């Protein structure tokens, strides 16, 4: 991992998650988001449940960033395979989100991509700072 041990403990600002927590968060979100996608794909007008990311993050100091990254990559690969087999019209299935209102499976996937890019950008910024 290009961040190194010190970089994993670095954050962009005081009070912000460090790189380890960001990576663990991405792994947790991959589990939660993939479950949502599957529910939306198979259930009519699924009502999505939210989760409290800060409660989940309470465990991150005791977890390995490397294991989280491996889990994220494996789960994403499996989800990509699963998504590639769905009929095209499945991506237009509606669901309701308590904070975002009605959206489709496609919109959920777009939101996930934006979420991932946001956190990957944070990791790039931490790495560019030299893990300070």
Helices marked H in the chain — which ranges? Answer: 4-8, 19-42, 53-57, 65-84, 105-128
Give me the tens of pLDDT residue by residue for the chain, a chain 132 residues long.
578 888 899 999 999 999 999 999 999 999 999 999 999 999 999 999 999 999 999 999 999 999 999 999 999 999 999 999 999 999 999 999 999 999 999 999 999 999 999 999 999 999 998 754
The domain locations on the chain are: 4-128
Cα–Cα dist 116/99, whole Å: 19
Please calculate the CA angle 62-65-71 and round it to the nearest 5 degrees. Answer: 110
The CATH-assigned architecture of domain 4-128 is: Up-down Bundle (1.20)
């Amino acid at each position: 991992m290009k961040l190194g041990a010190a970089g994993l403990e670095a954050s962009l600002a005081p009070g912000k998650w460090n790189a380890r927590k960001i990576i663990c968060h991405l792994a947790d979100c991959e589990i939660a988001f993939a479950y949502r996608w599957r529910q939306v794909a198979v259930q009519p007008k699924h009502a999505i449940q939210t989760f409290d990311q800060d409660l989940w993050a309470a465990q991150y100091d005791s977890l390995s960033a490397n294991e989280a990254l491996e889990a994220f990559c494996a789960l994403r690969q499996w989800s990509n395979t699963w998504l590639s087999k769905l009929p095209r019209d499945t991506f237009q299935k509606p669901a309701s989100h308590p904070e975002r209102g009605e959206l489709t499976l496609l919109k959920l996937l777009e939101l996930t991509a934006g979420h991932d890019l946001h956190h990957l950008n944070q990791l790039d910024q931490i790495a560019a700072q030299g893990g300070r």
